């Protein structure tokens, strides 16, 4: 088993022998999100700003970030990256969009936060550059549903995650009828909270499917995943207030994983 595991967790360059892409990046997705760089920190236009506190609450329940090598995958304009840095993490933040990373750098510098931002790159490329087990905490939040190759991304995360005490945090949108109604039809086409076409229901992922993919790269749940649900009406009737739910994972959910 140990021989099999060591072979499987070789640097991702071996993926080429399986005729799989070295990057999970979609140029269309990069272009789409790059256009949001000027509004990334506008709470009225970015629902993630309201969601961020419960993401941090969930992370802090499972790991102390202070002094830990921390990776934020798909960092966008730096929302989560800044929070992780404020918690004391040594943060590397990557995103395929140069525009979003420049936005993140400017905002973090204005806040006096030192973060190692790297634009125009993927987690697969980072796995080729960094040593195995380089990160104690890896966050892939609201990213998988925009990737072209989820398996490649998760395999790279497994390679980069500390084998002893490392924790991987994943959040995404469940593939349910409710998520289609709320996250796409309601949020994008009726209320226009997000630009139409931001999400593709066929790319949404259930907790069970993500767990299956993670087990294939020797990662397992550290604890059962939880849902992220609105605690009240969204704008214009209310604000973006979220809460964690152990039972309602029908739309947004978050999980914590470790090496098996």
Specify whether the CB–CB gap between 221 and 253 falls below 8 A: no
Specify whether the CB–CB gap between 205 and 145 falls below 8 A: yes
Residue 150: what pLDDT? Answer: 97
How many CB atoms within 10 Å of residue 227?
A: 19
How far, in Å, are 5, 27, 115, 122, 174 from residue 129 at the CA level? 20, 22, 18, 11, 32
Six token digits for residue 27: 């140029």
pLDDT in tens, 21-79: 457 888 888 998 898 898 999 987 888 999 999 999 999 999 999 999 999 999 999 99
Burial of 18 (0-12, 13-18, 19+ CB in 10 A): exposed
- Inform me whether the pLDDT recorded for 13 exceeds 60: no
Residue 24: what pLDDT? Answer: 87
β-pairing, 252-259 vs 219-230, is antiparallel
pTM for the full predicted model? 0.88
pLDDT in tens, 165-219: 999 999 999 999 888 777 877 676 666 777 788 888 889 999 999 999 999 999 9
What domains are defined for the chain?
Answer: 2-259 (3.40.50.150)
CA atoms within 13 A on the CB side of 42: 9
pLDDT in tens, 96-113: 999 999 999 999 999 999
3-state SS, residue 116: strand
Taking alpha carbons only, the member of 145, 152, 259 closest to residue 213 is 152
Cα–Cα distance for residue pair 211/49, rounded to 1 Å: 27
Specify whether the CB–CB gap between 47 and 53 falls below 8 A: no
Tokens 């329940």 -> residue: 61
Residue 6: what pLDDT? Answer: 39
Six token digits for residue 145: 């549903």
Bond prior to 117 in cis (omega within 30° of 0):
no
3-state SS, residue 205: coil
Residue 168: what pLDDT? Answer: 98
């Amino acid at each position: 088993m140990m021989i099999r595991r060591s072979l499987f967790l070789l640097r991702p360059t071996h993926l080429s022998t399986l005729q799989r892409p070295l990057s999970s990046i979609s140029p269309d997705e990069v272009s789409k999100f790059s256009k949001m760089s000027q509004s990334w920190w506008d709470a009225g236009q970015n629902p993630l700003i309201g969601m961020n506190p419960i993401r941090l609450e969930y992370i802090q329940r499972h790991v102390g970030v202070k002094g830990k090598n921390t990776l934020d995958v798909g960092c966008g304009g730096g929302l989560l990256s800044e929070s992780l840095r404020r918690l004391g993490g040594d943060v590397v933040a990557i995103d395929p969009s140069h525009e979003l990373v420049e936005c993140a750098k400017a905002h973090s510098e204005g806040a006096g936060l030192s973060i190692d931002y790297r634009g125009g790159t993927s987690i697969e490329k980072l796995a080729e550059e960094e040593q195995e087990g380089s990160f104690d905490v890896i966050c892939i939040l609201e990213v998988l549903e925009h990737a072209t190759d989820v398996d490649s991304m998760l395999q790279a995360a497994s390679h980069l995650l500390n084998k002893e005490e490392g924790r991987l945090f994943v959040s995404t949108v469940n593939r349910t009828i409710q998520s289609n109604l709320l996250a796409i039809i309601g949020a994008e086409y009726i209320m226009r909270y997000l630009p139409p076409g931001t999400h593709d229901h066929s790319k949404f992922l259930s907790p069970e499917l993500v767990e299956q993919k993670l087990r294939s790269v020797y990662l397992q749940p550290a604890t059962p995943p939880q849902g992220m649900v609105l605690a009240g009406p969204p704008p214009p009737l209310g604000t973006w207030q979220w809460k964690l739910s152990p039972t309602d994972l029908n739309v947004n959910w978050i999980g914590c994983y470790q090496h098996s």
